[in-house]
Copies of this chain bind each other. A is one copy, B any other.
Amino acid sequence: MTTIKDVSKLAGVSVATVSRVLNENGYVKEETKQKVKQSIETLEYKPNAVARSLYNKKSYTIGLIVPDIMNPFFPELARSIEDEMNVHGYTVILCNSDADAKKEEHYLDILKQKYVDGVIFVSHTLKQESIKEWGLPLVALDRPIGEDIPSVSVDNRKAARTAVEYLINKGCQSIAHICGPSFIPNANERYLGYLDAMQNTNQKNYEELIINGYYQWKEAEKSTYTLLKNNDSIDGIFAGNDIMALGVMKAAEAAGRKIPKDLQIIGFDGVQISEMLNPELTTMAQPIYEMGTKACEMLLERIEGNQVLETMSCFETRIIERSSTL
């Protein structure tokens, strides 16, 4: 690796001068500047980011902690975050936490040691206090942690309610809900949204039509199959996320229900694959990519110390009408 010293020697100046032209600060005569630039060119010199970080206490690196990049919701998020940070000259360290508090804190430690400038994370286990004492800028994505931690999300309850109402408007008389684990706040909110919508209907047994799919495809499939077998009247299902909706669709097929004629299905999230299915999935879509971008903006605001500190960003969701509903 060639260093600033090599450049200074070749150009016949001091390292201080080289540093000046590198960072375009301080005075340097046009002539010397050219000499230095020339030397940089010929040596193909690239400044060492580690040395810079050490002095500046800034690494132009952020951490991204997600439960599992293999969950289809996160690649799109990761992509948008990487894109946006890249534009601003930052690099992204990817961490999979499996939603395990231990792992999350482990990563937080490591990231801090590596001098990251901030972290964007998706977690429901981290607590406000432990995060605050961590000391670096953070933004919570998809799962708000508390008042004091900036976050980007959607109004899950309202969106869920709207999704269920959509099924009602499409004529469903008996709507079930495959929910996510209640300890994940957004799953719980979607569950509450379902209740909100159902309260105003004639359907009385709806509390019995709520089953846990644990936000997982296989689980959702299994429990939906049982549910359908035991309840002939069900003609609509609101799945707590798109992955579970996939399971629901398979179960419906296995149970001999035609989608959407016998059974209408609406998912939640709007991940890419929801469109690639057969039939395509109607879903309450979050603007995933934009949310990632927004999280970056909020993080950058904090990192670069601007005062415009938006703390809660709530995005609108929208229904994408496709063929799993009438």
Give chain A's interface residues, CB within 8 Å of chain B.
Answer: 46-51, 53-54, 59, 61, 64, 68-70, 72, 74-76, 78-79, 82-83, 91-96, 109-115, 217, 243, 246-247, 249-250, 253, 272-273, 276-278
Residue contact A82 to B59, C-beta cutoff 8 Å: no
- For A54, the chain B residues whose CB sits under 8 A away are 48, 50-51, 54
* Contact B94 A50, beta carbon cutoff 8 Å: no
**Hey, which chain B residues are within 8 Å of A50, CB to CB?**
50, 53-54, 59, 114-115
Across the interface, name the chain B residue whose C-beta is closest to A81. Answer: B94
Q: Which residues of B contact A92 (CB under 8 A)?
A: 93-94
On whether the beta carbons of B79 and A109 are closer than 8 Å, the reply is no
User: Which residues in B have their C-beta under 8 angstroms from that of A276?
Assistant: 217, 243, 246-247, 250, 273
Residues of B within 8 A of A70 (CB): 75-76, 79, 272
Contact A91 B114 (CB under 8 A): yes
B-side contacts of A115, CB under 8 Å: 48-50
Q: List 14 A-B contacts (CB under 8 A).
A: A46-B109, A48-B54, A50-B59, A64-B94, A69-B75, A72-B72, A72-B75, A78-B94, A91-B111, A217-B276, A247-B276, A249-B278, A273-B273, A277-B278
Inter-chain contact A82/B96, CB cutoff 8 Å: yes
Residues of the B chain whose Cβ atoms lie less than 8 Å from the Cβ of A64: 94
Closest to A221 in B: B276
- Give Cα A83 to B243, complex, Å: 23
A89 to chain B, nearest CB (A): 9
Please indicate the chain B residues that have their CB under 8 angstroms from the CB of A277 in the complex.
246, 277-278
**With A54-B54, A276-B247, A278-B249 in contact, is A96–B113 under 8 Å at CB?**
no
Q: Which residue of B lies closest to A59 (CB)?
A: B50
Asked if A96 and B79 sit within 8 Å, CB to CB, the answer is yes
Q: How far is the CA of A54 from the CA of B48 in the complex (A)?
A: 9
Contact partners of A247 in chain B: CB under 8 A? 276
Evaluate contact between B83 and A79: CB separation under 8 angstroms. no
